[in-house]
Structure 1
Amino acid sequence: HAGKWLCGSGGSRSLAANADVANELEKLAGIYAAHGRQKWRHYAYSKAAKAIRSFEVELSSAEQLEGVQGCGEKVRAKVAEVLTSGTLRRREMLEQSETVVALASLTSIYGVGPSVASEWLAKGVRSIEEAFEAGLLNDTQLTGFRHRVDLAERIPRAEVAAISAAVVAALHALLRA
């Protein structure tokens, strides 16, 4: 039963082909999550990606996943496609669709999730700038919009560690007082 049940796996040891397949499935799951109305597909592809990352044998064919929890017939077809071509046509097609591009743009702002983005799309709003101009942003979203460049910038790990150490030291000092 090794590798059959996700909960019985010993960790997330990632083999090269398995990681490639899992990455493609996670990207597809992310697209479905952003779409909002596709939560079950998001869940299914996320679960399959996790199972594949935990699979203890390097994948060379989708048939190896037969009987693995979370890897049904449709998932195995996607796995076969990734193993053959290195990518998923469905993901590439969805990433280029106008709706997914608009959803990604809108949800990139702090405070805007899939539900709000879908509502705005239904009103014809295709970008965060259009939402701003239409006065649709609440205070949290407005803060996210104003600071979007700063929020998108990655902070070096060393800087995060220094900030963390300062906060911990301040809390210890406060608790001793």
Structure 2
Amino acid sequence: MEKHTGTEDESNPNARTIEVLKQMMDYYDRTNEHWKTIAYRKAIAALKKRTRKITTKEEALAIPFIGSRLAGKIEEIVFTNRLRRLENTNFDSADIALQLFLKIYGVGHSQASLWINQGHRTLNDLLTKATLTTNQKIGIEHIDDFATRIPRDEVEHHGRIVRNAIHKEDPAIEITIGGSCRRGAPDSGDVDFIITKPDASMETLRTIILDTVIPSLFQHHYLRHALASSTARSDGSKWHGCATLPGSKIWHRIDFLLVPHAEMGAALIYFTGNDIFNRSIRLLASRKGMRLNQRGLWTDVLRGGKRERMTQGALLESRDERKIFGLLGVPWRPPEHRVC
């Protein structure tokens, strides 16, 4: 419910403590320790709201969502400027390898853990000893490229190239760059193009983008490699790949996300993020007996004993972002405020 102004992290008196806790949270996220990750995330969110520096265990314990063990770690960080538990992870060869392997495109915790259990510890181990898919080989070859943040002016350059190619085929098609760029960030990890057209079928949109625009961008050496493509649903499609700007050798991740015009409001929320904001607003919808996804906001959703969805429910809104916020009782947050 609270907006993000972009200045909290810089001015927070607990910035150093938050920085170390984030590193510890990332470790637990990598090692798939779900509940510890959530505990650290809640503690970080609580510390961000403090207007004075928290220095003792007792002060930390008085803050909601911070328990005894985390409070002790906060005190340790404040008085020593370090956290021994975090430093111990730096000597764990398996965790070092896990951090490395998770940077490879398309590699999740399961695949990375499998390689580690097989005794692999380096990229060279994978290239010489492991059985790899084409995408995994591409991910290893361009691991540094994909980890390179894309400055905002370069994101806009990608946008001009793609818009020109699409509007050459059909000027009525609408293109929005989503993700961190839409949230106003100075750089992005990849470029997400959300593409729609009023009064057009998805089949028409797929024909223009997948059958005409993408092959043309390959011919002009902008697109370099296709990583994944999905057209399973009749009402949407995705294409994932890599591109380079003119004069550059750095490969960047590019996604084309085709969306029915009637679902653009829900799609913009979903593909803008950030991920914590998305999880939070979807959880709020669920607690109100509704369901929010990239297709729309639904009501009268029946769920079973383990929260399994039993019915689709009735569509409340899908086209308008503001209306979806209003129906959920959430104050309107422009994209730059959706940072949690």
Q: Could you list the per-position Cα deviations for residues 60-103 of structure 1 after superposition, in whole angstroms to 9, with x for gaps in the alignment?
A: 33322334232111110110011101111110111221111111
Q: Could you list the per-position Cα deviations for residues 25-57 of structure 1 after superposition, in whole angstroms to 9, with x for gaps in the alignment?
A: 110111111123x22222211221122122233
Relative to structure 1, is the Cα distance of residues 96 and 170 closer, same or farther in structure 2, using a 3 angstrom cutoff? Answer: same
Which residue of the partner structure matches residue 204 of structure 2? none
Separation in 2, partners of 1:47, 1:115: 26
Range that drifts further, 52-61 or 114-123: 52-61
**Among 117, 120, 123, which residue is 1:122 paired with?**
117
**Residue segments in structure 2 that go unaligned for 5+ positions in a row:** 174-340
Which residue of the partner structure matches residue 20 of structure 1? 16
Range that drifts further, 19-28 or 102-111: 102-111
Relative to structure 1, is the Cα distance of residues 66 and 122 closer, same or farther in structure 2, using a 3 angstrom cutoff? Answer: same
The code of the aligned residue for 1:32 comes to Y
Separation in 2, partners of 1:167, 1:59: 48
Equivalent pair of 1:31/1:95 in contact (CA under 8 Å) = no
TM-superposed CA distance for 1:166, in Å, is: 4.1
> Relative contact order: is structure 1 or structure 2 higher (C-alpha 8 Å, sep ≥ 6)?
1
1 or 2, which has the higher helix percentage? Answer: 1
Separation in 2, partners of 1:118, 1:77: 31
> Are 1:138 and 2:133 counterparts?
yes
The code of the aligned residue for 1:44 comes to A
How many residues are paired up? Answer: 169
- Percentage of pairs with the same residue: 27
1 or 2, which has the higher strand percentage? Answer: 2
Separation in 1, partners of 2:74, 2:164: 48
TM-superposed CA distance for 1:155, in Å, is: 2.7
Relative to structure 1, is the Cα distance of residues 154 and 10 closer, same or farther in structure 2, using a 3 angstrom cutoff? Answer: closer
TM-superposed CA distance for 1:136, in Å, is: 2.6
Equivalent pair of 1:62/1:79 in contact (CA under 8 Å) = yes
Separation in 1, partners of 2:13, 2:90: 22
**Among 157, 163, 175, which residue is 2:152 paired with?**
157
**Residue segments in structure 1 that go unaligned for 5+ positions in a row:** 1-6
Separation in 2, partners of 1:75, 1:126: 31
Query: Scaled by the length of structure 2, what TM-score is found?
Result: 0.45
Relative to structure 1, is the Cα distance of residues 96 and 67 closer, same or farther in structure 2, using a 3 angstrom cutoff? Answer: same
Three-state SS of the structure 1 residue aligned to 2:105 is coil
Equivalent pair of 1:10/1:54 in contact (CA under 8 Å) = no
Q: CA RMSD in A?
A: 2.4
The code of the aligned residue for 2:159 comes to S
Which residue of the partner structure matches residue 46 of structure 1? 41
Separation in 2, partners of 1:143, 1:39: 29
> Are 1:33 and 2:38 counterparts?
no
Range that drifts further, 148-157 or 45-54: 148-157
Rg comparison, structure with higher value: 2
Separation in 2, partners of 1:175, 1:105: 43
Equivalent pair of 1:17/1:60 in contact (CA under 8 Å) = no
Equivalent pair of 2:12/2:48 in contact (CA under 8 Å) = no
Relative to structure 1, is the Cα distance of residues 142 and 49 closer, same or farther in structure 2, using a 3 angstrom cutoff? Answer: same
Which residue of the partner structure matches residue 99 of structure 2? 104
